[in-house]
Structure 1
């Protein structure tokens, strides 16, 4: 079985560098099945969110796996509808209830708009109370980071952002490195970007190592210090995606991959109207009773 390595975050918590994402997997049994497959494959890091509406199935798969709880790293994220101190306290408890777990390993500010500072305070308290082991942020650009983080009592442990070889977040990475904050990649395979998945340089490297292009992309990201969690509901793909730890890219190949950066991605958190669009997208409390 593939041996996935861990790295230590700035708060001392260890996180697997490779995990399994559940974004857009429906809560109709599909999430539970996919997470079970991921766990059976040896993956021990599962990423979900309140706004994915599938925390309950993630928790079911974990509880039914018979794998000791402390061996599985679980991430969830607070939706901006629950920002502000009091709302965040309730939101954290709701996540724990839906997951059916005693604690969450990593909890993130999902979209950094509104009363982020109040939400962060609630997350700090939940960490102190043992409900959460580590806290972080998501979709924070340099501009948004500088707007909110100076008002935090403690630094985030991670910043989960769009990241792939075509969008390598170079300015943000410099800021995160200065603060000893790890970057996690959502959409590490470019969310199906055909140009990326069929890039000629990546194809050439893949042929050399007897790997597919997706494996080369994920290997590059992990080797460059990024935490990844690709998503799939295909059992074969879940297993092959993680076959990354039996080879190393050369420094020349790493530099060639770094040169693929185009400097922009599909999502710009700094764009006007993003907060309003996201708030109106859906109600995370629709099914609350």
Structure 2
């Protein structure tokens, strides 16, 4: 396996604000059923065994997981069997995980206590309780993964998903709830800084945070988030948030880079045209566009061939004109995979 890693396609890296190098393409570690409305929506970690074996065999070094995905133990065992026992070293891997996901709404199957952080629970008004909860979740991550440290630790969500929109509360109530949410976020981030300062995470960041959520952290943080993992695809580019992150030296990670099947981005005429021109598939064109935009990309594939192909994107480059055309595909929130998860409604 170590030889295969050395023979893997060369992947460019980016440099985080603290100097840590992060591979620009990572393997997404969430496996589940969310596309068939006739079936329950839930994580299916049993699908990860094959996916991880394939990813390791074709040379992925960067893996993006989370406590709620329930794939960390499988990932750790896969590293042991297919990487470490074959001569691979810890520094050959870039392991990212996330803590602090609230219980999900109906159908999201994110209810398990211990894996989720319920911001609506009044216990989280106590900063020390909040910090202890984050530390406990993180220590479970290390135990599941079977490693002594992670390369990147993210706060999975900025707050509760159990919102009902601005029309459900008065402006006074909303402001009060936002103040409380900001206080909890700052306590969560204080724990993240402790983990970072104890060298248990080489870098720290957030996920699904908007400008307001980030500004809450900026009020008191000693270490700024180095990464914000958000939904980005050619059809959904949250430009104001992306610009805010870049101005604050926060690297953008793109989840769901190919959009959902409903958006149709994989059949877009421009993307198909560029794929034909460069002798690539549409996924490779999208990944290359994103890496040229200095975004980390987190594709996932159940196919070994596609998994390797997602790494083989650095033997061509889009022109400035083509990059501008790709930016022009943006359709805004209507093309979001989860348009109901309006970030500004999260207190």
Q: TM-score, normalised by structure 2?
A: 0.75
1:72-92 deviations in whole A, cap 9, x for unaligned? 000100033347211111111
CA contact (8 A) 1:139 1:269 kept: no
Q: Distance in 2 between matches of 1:269 and 1:73?
A: 30
Larger Rg: 2
Question: Would you say 1:41 and 2:58 are equivalent positions?
Answer: yes
Q: Distance in 2 between matches of 1:124 and 1:62?
A: 27
Partner of 1:72: 93
Partner of 2:266: 197
1:30-89 deviations in whole A, cap 9, x for unaligned? 313212211211110000001111110111111221221111000100033347211111
CA contact (8 A) 1:31 1:54 kept: yes
Task: Decide which of 221, 224, 228 is 1:152's aligned counterpart.
Answer: 221
CA contact (8 A) 1:74 1:105 kept: yes
Distance 1:68 1:269, change over 3 A: farther
List, as ranges, runs of 4+ consecutive aligned residues in structure 1 with deviation greater than 6 Å.
none
Distance 1:193 1:10, change over 3 A: farther
CA contact (8 A) 1:157 1:182 kept: yes
Task: Decide which of 151, 174, 178 is 1:105's aligned counterpart.
Answer: 151
Q: Distance in 1 between matches of 2:342 and 2:58?
A: 34
Question: Would you say 1:266 and 2:283 are equivalent positions?
Answer: no
Alpha-carbon deviation of 1:24? 2.2
Distance 1:147 1:266, change over 3 A: farther
CA contact (8 A) 1:140 1:269 kept: no
Partner of 1:63: 80
1:186-222 deviations in whole A, cap 9, x for unaligned? 0011133451010011111111111111111111111
CA contact (8 A) 1:144 1:270 kept: no
1:140-174 deviations in whole A, cap 9, x for unaligned? 11232223332322100100000011112211121
Task: Decide which of 23, 27, 34 is 2:45's aligned counterpart.
Answer: 27
CA contact (8 A) 1:167 1:263 kept: yes
CA contact (8 A) 2:205 2:225 kept: yes
Aligned residues: 273
| Counterpart secondary structure, 2:332 | coil
Partner of 1:117: 186
Q: Which runs of 5+ in 1 are unaligned?
A: 276-289
CA contact (8 A) 1:33 1:61 kept: no
Q: CA RMSD in A?
A: 1.6
Partner of 1:207: 276
Q: TM-score, normalised by structure 1?
A: 0.89
Moved more, 111-120 or 180-189: 111-120
